[in-house]
């Protein structure tokens, strides 16, 4: 039985702690919670009864000597806390994003690489969506042939001014390190890179629309990938009845992926053959369609306990030698983050940005955003 602690028991961390406390994770138990806010600790205890509580996470680690820690604090504290824990030999499951700046994530990854015996994972729970898992199998099998186009639309993270007015660390460059991209879309951007890899170039436009915030609540990106794959990505947090759609078009097939179901179209013959053999100006292939769904029981379970429980469960299994790997290694967190940093740089400069980015350049860019924020400026309102 592995002893877990949860650091940060706000909205998300309290759910992780509850799942552990209620024995919903095989081979793991909640040994203690740590939060710098006594109010957060009291709130958890008043809902669940007596738990070992600490206002200082280092004290918690010293006294409890846990096997693993889940970090669910605001973004800027992920790397400082995770790096100390990993260096101290405590397995870490960090909430997303891995970091705010690529340079911090790379620093974190170096520390993780220097401690290969200490597991480091990241909470990319959307990788446990069965629809995305099936899409990954199909793409990796090569059955789609050459990928041509990827289109990702994520406009279902609606946030009103009231959400932003609740204050705290959210929706600011100094507190969160960005807006809809780094907070919400990091999940989908991870799934995107997990499926099709990283782009070589990003050209982006960002906006702050109809909200009194300094960060972006919309983003439009055009991406170029190796081997001719091209893509677009649209994100918005101000659209009612938003969409969540991922489409991957390829030579031998196409995936149309929603949040809960996917259609897989298979072409016989491939587009390349259709084109080479067409005797008219148009072309056609035989199309077979297969539909995949999330699955009702899994959907109910994930809705009740959170998709994050899948990640914690696999992490505990990994620590107990029952799973070959975590859902996502922590070091993989740098990828979606680099995409996001590149998009911010491009949107700010008005120029396309090549990847890998220069991490120092992004640090200088975000420093400017923070300066503008201090002067009550909105970085992406021109
Ligand atoms: N995986 C997901 O789907 C998902 C969903 C929501 C939030 N999150 C992530 O979870 C993290 C927390 O988000 P939240 O919505 O729970 O925020 P929150 O503000 O509700 O909770 C954060 C908690 O951390 C505590 N805290 C801050 N600094 C601390 C420190 N140094 N030591 C100990 N405690 C500290 C705060 O007092 C607070 O109680 C963020 O990284 C967020 O992006 C992930």
Tens digits of per-residue pLDDT, 336-381? 999 999 999 999 999 999 999 999 999 999 999 999 999 877 788 7
Tens digits of per-residue pLDDT, 313-341? 999 999 999 999 999 999 999 999 999 99
Other CB atoms within 10 A of residue 94 CB: 26
Q: Are 284 and 275 in contact (CB under 8 A)?
A: no
Q: What is the mean pLDDT of residues 207-212?
A: 93
Q: Are 327 and 128 in contact (CB under 8 A)?
A: yes
What residue's CA is closest to ligand 1, atom 37? 37
Tens digits of per-residue pLDDT, 115-169? 999 999 999 999 999 999 999 999 999 999 999 999 999 999 999 999 988 878 8
Q: Is the pLDDT of residue 61 over 80?
A: yes
Please state the atom number of ligand 1 nearest to the C-alpha of residue 77.
31
pLDDT of residue 170: 85
CATH topology match: 2-126+305-334 vs 129-301+335-374:
no
Give the separation between CA 51 and CA 33, rounded to whole angstroms: 7
pLDDT of residue 150: 98
What residue's CA is closest to ligand 1, atom 39? 10
pLDDT of residue 166: 81
Confidence of residue 382 (pLDDT cuts 50, 70, 90): low
Alpha carbon of 176 to ligand 1 centroid (Å): 11
Confidence of residue 256 (pLDDT cuts 50, 70, 90): very high
What lies within 8 Å, CB to CB, of 101 at 6+ separation is: 177, 337, 341, 359, 362, 363, 366
pLDDT of residue 96: 97
Tens digits of per-residue pLDDT, 217-246? 999 999 999 999 999 999 999 999 999 999
Instruction: Name the DSSP class of 219.
Output: E
Q: Are 340 and 189 in contact (CB under 8 A)?
A: yes
Pick the CATH number of 2-126+305-334 from 3.40.50.2300, 3.50.30.30, 3.30.365.10, 3.40.50.720: 3.40.50.720
Q: Which of 219, 176, 172, 211 has its CA nearest to residue 373?
A: 172
CATH code for the domain defined by 129-301+335-374: 3.30.360.10
* Ligand 1 mutation target, pool 6, 12, 336, most atoms within 8 A of CB: 12
Classify burial at 51, counting beta carbons within 10 Å of its beta carbon; exposed 0-12, middle 13-18, buried 19 or more: middle
Domain regions of the chain by residue span: 2-126+305-334, 129-301+335-374
Tell me if 254 CB under 6 Å of ligand 1: no
Joined together, the tokens standing for residue 223 give 């991406």
* Ligand 1 mutation target, pool 33, 58, 72, most atoms within 8 A of CB: 72
pTM (two decimals): 0.96
């Amino acid at each position: 039985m592995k002893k877990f602690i949860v650091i940060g028991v706000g909205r998300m961390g309290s759910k992780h702690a509850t799942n552990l406390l209620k024995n919903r994770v095989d081979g793991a138990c909640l040994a203690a919670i740590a939060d710098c806010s006594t109010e957060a600790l009291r709130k958890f205890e008043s809902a669940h009864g007596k738990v070992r509580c600490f206002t200082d996470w280092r004290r918690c680690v010293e006294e409890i000597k846990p096997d693993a820690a889940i970090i669910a604090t605001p973004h800027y504290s992920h790397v400082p806390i995770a790096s100390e824990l990993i260096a101290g030999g405590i397995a870490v499951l960090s909430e997303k994003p891995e970091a705010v700046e690529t340079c911090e994530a790379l620093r974190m990854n170096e520390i993780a690489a220097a401690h290969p015996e200490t597991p480091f994972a990241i909470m990319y729970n959307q990788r446990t969506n069965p629809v995305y898992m099936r899409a990954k199998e199909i793409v990796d099998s090569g059955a789609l042939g050459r990928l041509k186009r990827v289109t990702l639309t994520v406009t279902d993270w609606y946030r009103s001014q009231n959400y932003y007015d609740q204050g705290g660390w959210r929706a600011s460059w100094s507190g969160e390190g960005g807006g809809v991209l780094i907070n919400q879309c990091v999940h989908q951007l991870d799934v995107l890179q997990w499926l099709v890899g990283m782009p070589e170039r990003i050209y982006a436009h960002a906006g702050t629309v109809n909200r009194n915030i300094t960060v972006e609540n919309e983003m439009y990106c055009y991406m170029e990938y190796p081997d001719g794959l091209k893509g677009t990505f649209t994100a918005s947090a101000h659209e009612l009845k938003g969409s969540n759609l991922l489409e991957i078009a390829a030579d031998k097939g196409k995936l149309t992926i929603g949040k809960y179901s996917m259609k897989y179209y298979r072409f016989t013959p491939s587009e390349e053959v259709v084109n080479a053999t067409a005797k008219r100006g148009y072309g056609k292939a035989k199309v077979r369609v297969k539909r995949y769904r999330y699955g009702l029981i899994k959907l109910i379970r994930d809705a009740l306990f959170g998709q994050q429980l899948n990640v914690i469960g696999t992490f505990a299994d990994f620590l107990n030698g029952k799973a070959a790997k975590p859902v996502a290694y922590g070091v993989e967190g740098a990828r979606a983050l680099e995409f996001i940093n590149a998009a911010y740089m491009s949107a700010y400069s008005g120029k396309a940005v090549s990847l890998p980015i220069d991490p120092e350049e992004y640090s200088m860019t975000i420093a400017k955003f923070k300066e503008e924020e201090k002067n009550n400026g909105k970085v992406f309102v021109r």
